[in-house]
Structure 1
Amino acid sequence: MRKFFAATIAAVSLAAALTAPAAAQTPIKIMVGGIDKQIYLPAKLAAQLGFFKEQGLDVELFNSTSGSQAATALLAREVQGVVGFYDHTIDLQSKGKFITSVVQFAIAPGEVVLVKAADADKLKDPANWKGQALGVTGLGSATDFLTRALAAKAGLKMQDYTLVPVGAGDTFLASMQQGKIVSGMTTEPTVARAVKNGTAKVGIDLRTPESTRAALGGDYPAACLYMDRAWMEANKETAQKVVNAFVKTLKWMNTHSPEEIAAQMPKDYYAGELDLYVQGLREGKPQYSVDGMMPAGAPESVLSVLNSFSPNLKGKTIDLAKTYTTDFVVKANATN
Structure 2
Amino acid sequence: MRTTVRRTALAAAGLLALASLTACANDAAGTASSGSGGDGKGTKVKIMVGGLDKVIYLPAMLTQRLGYFDAEGLSVELLSEPAGVQAETALVSGQVQGAVGFYDHTLDLQVKGKEVESVVQFSHAPGEVEVVSTERADDITSPKDFKGRKLGVTGLGSSTDFLTKYLAVKNGVDVSEFTPVAVGAGPTFISALQKGAIDGGMTTDPTVATVLDKGAGKILLDMRTPAGSEAALGGPYPSSSLYMQTDWVNGHKDTVQKLANAFVKTLKWMSTHSATEIADKMPADYSQGNKVLYASAIKSTLPMFTDDGVMPKNGPETVEKVLKAFNPTIKNADVDLSRTYTTEFVQKATG
Same fold (TM over 0.5): yes
Measure the CA separation in 2 of the matches of 1:190 and 1:260: 20
Structure 1 residue 284: deviation in Å?
A: 1.3
Structure-to-structure mapping, 1:313-332, within 5 angstroms: 313-332=330-349
The residue type equivalent to 1:71 in the other structure is: E
| C-alpha distance after superposition, 1:306-333 (max 9, x if no partner) | 1111111132110101100000000000
* 8 A contact 2:323–2:331 mirrored in 1: no
1:37 paired with 2:54, answer yes
Q: What pairs with 1:172-251 in structure 2 (closer than 5 Å)?
A: 172-251=189-268
- How far apart in 1 are the matches of 2:152 and 2:40? 47
TM-score normalised by the chain length of structure 1: 0.92
Give, as a single letter, the amino acid of the residue that structure 1 aligns with 2:325.
Answer: S
What displacement does 1:186 show?
0.4
Match 1:130 to one of 141, 147, 161: 147
Matching residue of 1:264 = 281
The answer (yes or no) to whether the contact 1:116–1:123 under 8 Å persists in 2 is no
| Contact kept? 1:66, 1:141, Cα under 8 Å | yes
State whether residues 50 and 86 of structure 2, in contact with CA within 8 Å, keep that contact through their aligned partners in structure 1: yes
Match of 1:116 in 2: 133
* Partner in structure 2 of residue 52 of structure 1: 69
* 1:14 alignment counterpart: none
Among all aligned residue pairs of Structure 1 and Structure 2, give the percentage whose two residues are the same amino acid. 52
> Residue 88 of structure 1: which of 105, 109, 117 is its match?
105
Q: Is the contact between residue 55 and residue 298 of structure 2 (CA under 8 Å) also seen in structure 1?
A: yes
Helix, strand or coil: the match of 2:137? helix
Distance 1:23 1:44, change over 3 A: closer
- Counterpart check, 1:282 vs 2:299: yes
Q: Does the 8 A contact of 1:82 with 1:226 survive in 2?
A: yes
Which structure 1 residue ranges, 4+ long, deviate > 2 Å from structure 2? none
Structure 1 gap segments, 5+ residues each: 1-21
Q: Equivalent residue of 2:79, what SS?
A: strand
Matched, 1:309 2:303: no
The answer to whether residue 117 in structure 2 is matched with residue 61 in structure 1 is no
1:75 aligns with 2:92: yes
Does the 8 Å contact 1:107/1:209 carry over to 2?
Answer: yes
Distance 1:195 1:306 in 2: 30
Distance (Å, rounded) in 1 between the aligned partners of 2:142 and 2:51: 27
Supply the distance in 1 between the matched residues of 2:183 and 2:251 (Cα, whole angstroms).
Answer: 37
1:67–1:84 contact (8 Å) kept in structure 2: yes
Instruction: Please say if residues 98 and 243 of structure 2, whose CA atoms lie closer than 8 Å, have aligned partners that are also in contact.
Output: yes
CA distance in structure 1 between the partners assigned to 2:66 and 2:138 by the alignment: 43
Please give the secondary structure, in 2, of the residue aligned with 1:324.
coil
SS in 1 for 2:151: strand
Aligned-pair CA distance for 1:124: 3.3
CA distance in 2, matches of 1:120, 1:234: 51
Partners of 2:40 and 2:75 within 8 A in 1: no
Q: State the TM-score, normalizing by the size of structure 2.
A: 0.88
CA contact (8 A) 1:107 1:295 kept: yes
Structure 1 position 105, deviation (Å): 0.6
* Contact persistence 1:124–1:204 (CA under 8 A): no
Is the 2:235–2:314 contact (alpha carbons within 8 Å) kept by the matching residues of 1? no
Q: CA deviation at 1:23?
A: 10
Q: Which runs of 5+ in 2 are unaligned?
A: 1-38
- Between 223-232 and 310-319, the greater mean CA deviation after superposition: 310-319
Query: How far did 1:120 drift?
Result: 1.4
SS at match of 2:139: helix
Contact 2:152 / 2:198 at 8 angstroms: preserved in 1?
yes
Deviation at 1:123, TM superposition (A): 1.4
Aligned-residue Cα RMSD (Å) equals: 1.1
List per-residue Cα deviations over 1:219-245 (Å, max 9, x = no partner): 211000000011011100000000100
1:24 Cα deviation after fit: 4.8
- 2:68 and 2:142 mapped to 1: Cα distance? 43
CA distance in 2, matches of 1:107, 1:63: 23
Alignment partner of 1:123: what SS? coil
Partner of 2:30: none
Find the aligned partners of 1:124 and 1:277 in 2 and give their Cα distance.
27
**CA radius of gyration, larger in:** 1
